[in-house]
Structures are given as structure tokens and as C-alpha cells.
Amino acid sequence: MTKQIVHSTLNNTKDDQKQESIRLLNQFLSDFLALALMTKQAHWNMRGSNFIAVHEMLDPFNEKLLEWSDTFAERAVQLGGAAYGTPTVVVDKMSFSPYPLDISSTTDHLRALRERYAILANAVREAIDAGKADPDTIDFLTAASEDLDKYLWFIEAHLEA
């Protein structure tokens, strides 16, 4: 694990918890930003059955993913770290494979999103279960996990016909 930049702060969170929290927050910053863009990619390019229902369903997902990205970035800085959300970092650090650009059917987009939402939901849950981050970061991750599970459920429900 690369040591994160830590700026002086009177926040008395233990140093090891700060380091782990900043690491996790930056990882999830990349993942949530990447998934938000992938969600928009699907939103813009899908065609076929259930188009309008899925098209409209994805906008709030995207908005919430971006909101969580901002929360994670700000929390990393609150702990004395830095937030790394540049396109280069996001592409380098994201936990999933690139989104396919050669698909257009609603079903294919939902399958691609299902895989990526599941990867992220499971990774967030694993970070929570590990319990190495500070309590406030764990609280944010728990709330984000609830959203991811809900969105995964919605996506999976659309795939069952």
C-alpha cells in the first residue's frame, strides 16, 4: 500500500485508520466515478425493449454515484489526505474492466451494468466487513452499499422477464 499524503489536522482519528480510510475513499472515488460514466454510457446508447423505463431509471443512479464520489473525496481530505479523481487516476485505479462500446440492446447494457454494480457493491461490503477504516468512513460506505444493492436489484429485476 502506498502511503497517502497526510496534511496536518486536529482530527484525532488514529493514523492507521486515517491511512486505510484515505486509501479506501480514493479507491471508491475512482470506482464510483467510473461507474457513473458507464451508467451514462448505457443511458445514452441503449435501444430496444423497455428502453424508456431503463433510460429513465439510470439517471438517478448516475446522480447518486456522483454524489457519493463527492462525499468520498471530501472525507479523504477531511482526514488530511488528498482526493485523486482525475481521468487518468480513475482509469488506472477502477476495479472493473472497461465498458463495452460495441453493444446497443437494453439487455446487453443491463448485463454489463449488472456485472459492474455487483463488483462495486461487493467490494464496498468487503471494506465494511474488514473494519479497518474509521467509523465515519464506515458509515458512509454502509449508506453507499445500501444504494448499490438497491440499484443492482433494479437492474437484475429488469433482466428477469
CATH number at residue 147: 1.20.1260.10
Residue 2, domain member (yes or no): no
- Asked whether residue 7 is domain-assigned, the answer is no
Does residue 3 lie within any of the structural domains?
no
CA–CA distances in Å: residue 72 to residues 45, 99, 119: 29, 23, 18
Domain assignment present for residue 125? The answer is yes
Adjacent-strand bridge partners of 154: none
Model pLDDT for residues 48-107, shown as the tens digit of each residue: 989 999 999 999 999 999 999 999 999 999 999 999 999 999 999 999 999 999 999 999
Could you report the per-residue pLDDT of 5-49, keeping only the tens digit for each?
678 888 888 999 999 999 999 999 999 999 999 999 999 999 998
Give, in order, the Cα–Cα distances in Å from 131 to each of 141, 153, 158. Answer: 11, 25, 33
Is residue 10 one of the residues assigned to a domain? no
d(CA 125, CA 149): 10
Q: What is the pLDDT of residues 103-157, one digit of tens each?
A: 999 999 999 999 999 999 999 999 999 999 999 999 999 999 999 999 999 999 9
- For the chain, how many structural domains are there in total? 1
**Which spans in the chain are helix H?**
15-45, 51-78, 87-93, 106-130, 135-159
Give me the domain span that covers residue 79: 15-159
CA dist., res. 39 & res. 43, Å (int): 6
Domain contains 9? no
Q: What pLDDT sits at residue 76? A: 97
In a domain, 81, yes or no: yes
Characterise 95 by phi-psi region: left (phi > 0), alpha (psi -120 to 50), beta (else). Answer: alpha
CA distance linking residue 6 with residue 108, whole number of Å: 43
Does residue 90 belong to any structural domain of this protein? yes
